[in-house]
Amino acid sequence: MTELPYVAATELAALLDAGDISAVELTETLRARVEHLDDKLHLFLKRTDERALSDARAADARRSSGDRLSLFDGVPIGYKDIFVTRGVPTTCGSRILEGWVPPFDATVVERCSRAGLPILGKLNMDEFAMGSSTENSAFGPSKNPWNLKTVPGGSSGASAALVAAGGAPWAWGTETGGSVRQPASLCGVVGVKPTYGLVSRYGMIAFASSLDQAGPLSRTVKDSAALLTIAAGHDPLDSTSIPQAAPDYLEGIDRGIAGMRIGIVKEIESGDGMQPGVGERVQEAYQRLEKLGASIEEVSLPSFEYGISAYYLIAPAEASSNLARYDGVRYGLRSSDGSDVGAMMARTRAEGFGDEVKRRIMLGTYALSAGYYDAYYGKAQRVRTLITRDLERAYASVDLIACPTSPTTAFKLGERTNDPLAMYLSDVFTVPVNLAGNAAISVPCGVSADDGLPVGLQLIAKSLDEATMFRAAYAFEQDLGWIDSPEGRPPL
Amino acid sequence: MSMTATDLYETTVGLEIHVELATASKMFCGCPVTFGQEPNTRTCPVCLGLPGSLPVANERAVEHTMKIALALDCRIAEHSLFHRKNYFYPDMPKNYQISQYDLPLGYAGAVEITGGFGTTRVGITRVHLEEDTGKSIHVGGSGRIHDSHYSLEDFNRAGTPLVEIVTEPDIHSAEEARAFVNELRALLESLGVSDVRMEEGSLRVDANVSVRRAGETAHGVKVEVKNMNSVRSVGRALEYEQERQRKALESGERLIQETRHFDEKSGTTSSGRAKEVSSDYRYFAEPDLVPFEPTAEWIERIKSSLPELPAARRERFVAQYGLGSADVEVLTSTTSLADWFEAAAAAYKGEPKKVVNWIVADLFRLLNEAGIEVGAAKISPAQLARLVELVDSGAISGKQAKQVLGDMFATGNDPEAIAAERGMQQISDEGALDLVVAEVIEQNPGVADKVRGGNIGPLGFLVGQVMKKTKGQANPGLVNDLLRSKLVE
């Protein structure tokens, strides 16, 4: 049998049901694993060991009396520290929220708790989810288990690293421009960006409201499908939540992809900045998909290349407003400096926010200013519409679009911290999907020949067509067999 | 308006009115809308702007706003949006206000007002929905933020649905402004969408005032006047402000665009901070809410659910009850009073005008003394009708009725019971009164002679004497007749 830390949640569920393991045993094992990992990788901003254990004991009691809350009752989970958790400090990776204890649970957390998932703790992230490496965390970066000198990606870097290194079968991350898929790619795990509105944003600390979406990270496609099933579906507390119930994404996931039409993007195949080893693996992946019965055809997405430009106007603009509430008046950090309320607010924000957050607040404030709105924010919104239309047009002839998740594998810590633009380009293939609102997944396709680090294949689906996306990703994963092989595990 | 030096100047006023809606819950969360509760006890993650919280629009508030817009004869936007208005202020939990910008729910309406100035049509630029802020209590100094020692924040009010009504600059005098606010208040009351209490801040009026020399085409410098807590204050503040600006112009002083606060005690306005280079609120569409597109059916349903509005009611009062415009104006000043009158008129068998007289003269005096609204009075409309009928039938005199009304007002008891208890009955028995009349003539020979000599004036004195002897129970009309028949004919 696979060592417990690497057993998938869907399999753990069966072991728990069979009485082969207990939730307490599982939780203890993961806790010990996390203890070991956390020293090396710096994954948690807050661990909730005691609570996880008491949650596990409760789960075991339910199972023994035959009324488990769900199939996964007792399977532990970690949350990116962007989800508010009742009674558990939540910082969003920022000094400005240090010490704040939320009085409520995010809908994602609440639904997972209702399914009986013990909470392991809160995971590191780039401050307010702004970044692609976790180096923008106010509490220090996390590291990639494949190579401790490299970043795990971001902003949900610690969520991806935790799952990759066997600290938990699954974890929640969030996306605004690729913050689940890119770290999933860099850490060699599965990461999902659901359709905008599929998962409630209630209790997910806002970065850019029109783009933010929570997404599962796991080692297997099935686990992500199962986790999404738990949390997806309409939430009356989020007005942008799609008013319909979500299906069970495990159903029909193994039907294969014979006859599926998969598009590869003409414009980005020739794109520069692509690491040769990444290109190689992704080409192989396309061939594998074809071998599995899909037809591969070229699609044109001419507006794709404007994604980053539009994104870096829209996201900062919304962020500049979303982050205005951190002013020291009601919660979190309050500067002791300041002769009046205006000075107190300004000093609090100067002391509490990191450089990247300040940079984006300034960008966004500028983009929304009178006289500049049309040229920047307004135009970016029009580009967004173009990208959405391009994708819609492409889906007239294909069911899915395939491309790399990230142009490179994990880069070295510190390599891009002084070059924001290089950092922003990590998300060149993921950002257009957030702008259009579609669903996408990153699934591992092995390691790059040039550095031995994982490469992710991205599959982009139509809005609300997660089922097709999971089906293709699962078929690919099973045929590749990488995740279940020793090669699919980081050397840690 | 009298012809004075002020006629060389023209005042232009546009009003910005904020109305707190009387919905059960707040605009974007489930917290109750309340007034006067313990600070910060009616709050939740949403109205405190806690990280992760999201707004959900209160449908009832949208419906109320639509009612207001339709009642103000506005057009209803087919596609309406909430926007974020960004600025930092400690009583604003998110440091942005969810408001509306270029796509308000209602626009291009109008209201007609009448008064001593004639009839004026005041255009309604827009009617939009937004959320209220919390309340700052500035401690120390003058009680205003700039010189206070510290400030306390109460977020109970934060998130209360607030409708903003903006008028065109169609108002040209304090009198018109007062009339407009009165009309709007009556209209909002009739819709049942707000408490419309200016003192408690559920109706807040700000005025943009400018004065220019008559005949000039460019507008004068706009001054925003705030802190007017009653209709009377609106009038006083505007009178003061137009005079201040006129004097400034006359002496060649340069006026500045600023915000000024009205001080109730002194009746003057004083400068707040000069308005900075018009604030940039960086409006953008609120991404946490979805656009609002009311269907034609929905609009129609709301339209047909509108109650009779004050203007229509006034017309009907003239036609149905045969009342003069002065009476109608008074009776329709509030919906509750108009309702009260109609209930009394319906119960009363005689001419409605008689009931009006009792309401306007006697009941108003009692209400004023008690400091209450008619709705809070113990006396019912039907009881008043019966009281007037007791007078009509001659059972009690008008003078007695006034006493009975006082008792009814104090106790809520029926007029018949009170009259009986007080031993009141009007003496309309001619034989009985004849004796008293004869006695009075005998006791006042000088006065009686004067009347006999054709001087009718002192007749009233003799009537009074009879009333006195009968302890006010004599039917005064009958006494009058008897005296005349003995002395004049």
Percent pLDDT > 70 in chain A is: 99
B258/B255 Cα distance (integer angstroms): 9
**Residue-wise burial string across A214-223, b where 16 or more C-beta atoms lie within 10 A, e elsewhere:** bbbbbbbbbb
Find the mean pLDDT for residues A62-77. 97
Under an 8 A CB cutoff, do A331 and B290 touch? no
Under an 8 A CB cutoff, do B54 and A341 touch? no
Looking at the structure, tell me whether residues A195 and A335 fall in a common domain: no
B211/B198 Cα distance (integer angstroms): 26
Residue A321: its chain B contacts at CB < 8 A? 84, 86, 96, 282, 284
Residue A90: its chain B contacts at CB < 8 A? 51
Under an 8 A CB cutoff, do B93 and A236 touch? no
Looking at the structure, tell me whether residues A449 and A312 fall in a common domain: no
Which residues of A participate in catalysis according to the annotation?
80, 155, 179
Residue B53: its chain A contacts at CB < 8 A? 104, 202-203
The region of weakest confidence among A46-50, A269-273, A384-388, B323-327 is: A269-273
Find the mean pLDDT for residues B83-94. 96
Looking at the structure, tell me whether residues A337 and A419 fall in a common domain: no
Under an 8 A CB cutoff, do A90 and B56 touch? no
Under an 8 A CB cutoff, do B86 and A368 touch? yes
Domain final residue pick, A344, A377, A410: A377
Residue A142 lies in a domain: yes
Q: Which of B84, B282, B288 sits opposite A239 (nearest CB)?
A: B288
The region of weakest confidence among A234-248, A321-335, B1-15, B224-238 is: B1-15
Q: What is the dihedral of CA B457, B458, B460, B461, to 10 degrees?
A: 160
Residue A334 lies in a domain: yes
Percent pLDDT > 70 in chain B is: 97
CA B258 from centroid of its chain's CA atoms: 29
Residue of A nearest to B87 (CA): A324
Residue A300 lies in a domain: no
Looking at the structure, tell me whether residues A43 and A140 fall in a common domain: yes
Mean pLDDT, all residues of chain B: 91
Alpha helices for A100-241 (secondary structure H): 107-114, 157-164, 181-187, 221-231
Q: Which of B54, B86, B153 sits opposite A237 (nearest CB)?
A: B54
**How does pLDDT run across A130-145, given as a tens digit for each residue?**
999 999 999 999 999 9
Cβ contact B21:B163 at 8 Å:
yes
Q: Could you give the 3-state DSSP secondary structure of residue B136?
A: strand
**Residue B110 scores a pLDDT above 60:** yes
The region of weakest confidence among A123-127, B1-5, B205-209 is: B1-5
User: Which pLDDT belongs to residue B333?
Assistant: 85
Q: Which H or E run includes B11?
A: strand B9-20
Residue A432 lies in a domain: yes
Q: Name which of A321, A322, A344, A368 to mutate to probe chain B: the one with the most chain B Cβ atoms within 10 A of its Cβ.
A: A321
**Residue B1 scores a pLDDT above 50:** no
User: Which pLDDT belongs to residue A337?
Assistant: 75
A398/A301 Cα distance (integer angstroms): 13
Q: Which tokens is A212 given? A: 């933010």
Residues sharing a CB contact under 8 Å with residue A284, sequence separation 6 or more, in sequence order: A445, A446
Q: Which of A204, A330, A377 sits opposite B93 (nearest CB)?
A: A330
Sheet strands (E) in B301-408? none
**How does pLDDT run across A467-483, given as a tens digit for each residue?**
999 999 999 999 999 99
Quote the minimal CA–CA distance from B339 to chain A in Å.
40
Under an 8 A CB cutoff, do A321 and B84 touch? yes
Q: Which of B57, B86, B151 sits opposite A239 (nearest CB)?
A: B57
Taking the model in full, what pTM does it have? 0.89
Closest alpha carbon to A158 in A186, A177, A178, A192: A186
Q: Which of A239, A317, A327 sits opposite B56 (nearest CB)?
A: A239
Q: What are phi and psi of A277, to 5 degrees?
A: -65, -30
User: Which pLDDT belongs to residue B392?
Assistant: 87
Cβ contact B244:B271 at 8 Å:
no
Residue A201: its chain B contacts at CB < 8 A? 54
User: Which pLDDT belongs to residue B2?
Assistant: 42
Residue A14 lies in a domain: yes
Residue B93: its chain A contacts at CB < 8 A? 325, 330
Residues sharing a CB contact under 8 Å with residue A65, sequence separation 6 or more, in sequence order: none
**Residue A86 scores a pLDDT above 90:** yes
What is the band of A201 on the pLDDT scale with cuts at 50, 70, 90?
Answer: very high
Q: Which of B145, B280, B288 sits opposite A240 (nearest CB)?
A: B288
**Residue A80 scores a pLDDT above 60:** yes
If one looks up domain B430-487 in CATH, what number appears? 1.10.10.410
**How does pLDDT run across B147-158, given as a tens digit for each residue?**
788 889 999 999
Find the mean pLDDT for residues A107-116. 98
**Residue B472 scores a pLDDT above 90:** no
B117/A375 Cα distance (integer angstroms): 49
A462/A296 Cα distance (integer angstroms): 17
What is the band of B405 on the pLDDT scale with cuts at 50, 70, 90?
Answer: very high
Under an 8 A CB cutoff, do B287 and A210 touch? yes
Q: Which tokens is B339 given? A: 């309702």
Region of B439 on the Ramachandran plot (φ > 0 left; ψ -120 to 50 alpha; else beta): alpha
Q: Name which of B25, B28, B44, B88 to mutate to probe chain A: the one with the most chain A Cβ atoms within 10 A of its Cβ.
A: B88
Looking at the structure, tell me whether residues A44 and A111 fall in a common domain: yes
Write out the DSSP string of A175-202: ESSSTTHHHHHHHTSEEEEPPTTSB--T
A55/A74 Cα distance (integer angstroms): 7
User: Which pLDDT belongs to residue B5?
Assistant: 52
Q: Could you give the 3-state DSSP secondary structure of residue A231?
A: helix
CA distance readout (Å), A408 to A183, A272, A304, A371: 11, 11, 18, 38
User: Which pLDDT belongs to residue B360?
Assistant: 92
**How does pLDDT run across B161-205, given as a tens digit for each residue?**
999 999 999 999 999 999 999 999 999 999 999 999 898 889 999
Q: Which tokens is B218 given? A: 């460019």
Closest alpha carbon to B159 in B113, B201, B97: B97
Alpha helices for B147-295 (secondary structure H): 174-191, 231-250
Quote the minimal CA–CA distance from B83 to chain A in Å.
11
Under an 8 A CB cutoff, do A202 and B93 touch? no
User: Which pLDDT belongs to residue B487?
Assistant: 86
A434/A192 Cα distance (integer angstroms): 12
What is the band of B278 on the pLDDT scale with cuts at 50, 70, 90?
Answer: low
Q: Identify the CATH number of the domain in which residue A416 sits.
A: 3.90.1300.10
**How does pLDDT run across A315-374, given as a tens digit for each residue?**
999 999 999 999 999 999 999 877 888 899 999 999 999 999 999 999 999 999 988 999
Looking at the structure, tell me whether residues A177 and A126 fall in a common domain: yes
What is the ipTM for the molecules in this complex? 0.96
Give the bridge partners for A190, in sequence order: A218
Residue of B nearest to A329 (CA): B90
A169/A12 Cα distance (integer angstroms): 9
Looking at the structure, tell me whether residues A401 and A372 fall in a common domain: no
User: Which pLDDT belongs to residue A423?
Assistant: 85
Under an 8 A CB cutoff, do A318 and B284 touch? yes
**Residue B144 scores a pLDDT above 80:** no
**Residue B72 scores a pLDDT above 90:** yes
Tell me how many helices (H) and strands (E) chain A has.
16, 11
A212/A207 Cα distance (integer angstroms): 7
What is the band of B274 on the pLDDT scale with cuts at 50, 70, 90?
Answer: low
Residue A297 lies in a domain: no
Q: Could you give the 3-state DSSP secondary structure of residue A57?
A: helix
**How does pLDDT run across B241-272, given as a tens digit for each residue?**
999 999 999 998 989 999 999 999 999 999 87
**Number of A:B CB contacts under 8 A?**
101
**Residue-wise burial string across A28-42, b where 16 or more C-beta atoms lie within 10 A, e elsewhere:** bbbbebbeebbeebb
Looking at the structure, tell me whether residues A365 and A452 fall in a common domain: no
Q: Which of B45, B95, B145 sits opposite A327 (nearest CB)?
A: B95
Looking at the structure, tell me whether residues A355 and A423 fall in a common domain: no
**How does pLDDT run across A276-314, given as a tens digit for each residue?**
999 999 999 999 999 999 999 999 999 988 999 999 999
CA distance readout (Å), B38 to B22, B154, B155, B266: 19, 9, 10, 31
Domain limits of chain B?
Answer: 6-302, 308-421, 430-487
Quote the minimal CA–CA distance from A260 to chain B in Å.
34
What is the band of B429 on the pLDDT scale with cuts at 50, 70, 90?
Answer: confident
User: Which pLDDT belongs to residue A64?
Assistant: 95
Place of tokens 């609300």: A464
Find the mean pLDDT for residues B467-478. 81
Q: What are phi and psi of A199, to 5 degrees?
A: -110, 135
Sheet strands (E) in B21-149? 75-76, 83-86, 96-99, 106-115, 118-131, 135-139
Residue A237: its chain B contacts at CB < 8 A? 54, 56
- CB atoms inside a 10 Å sphere around CB A264: 18
- Looking at the complex, does the CB of residue A339 fall below 8 Å from at least one CB of chain B? no
User: Which pLDDT belongs to residue B3?
Assistant: 43
Cβ contact A150:A144 at 8 Å:
yes
Quote the minimal CA–CA distance from A238 to chain B in Å.
6
The domain total for chain A is: 2
Q: Which H or E run includes B260?
A: strand B258-263
Under an 8 A CB cutoff, do A102 and B50 touch? yes
Cβ contact B71:B19 at 8 Å:
no
Structural domain including A211 reads 4-263+396-488
Under an 8 A CB cutoff, do A365 and B93 touch? no
Quote the minimal CA–CA distance from B129 to chain A in Å.
17
User: Which pLDDT belongs to residue A270?
Assistant: 54
Domain final residue pick, A324, A342, A377: A377
Looking at the structure, tell me whether residues A417 and A448 fall in a common domain: yes
Under an 8 A CB cutoff, do B51 and A370 touch? no
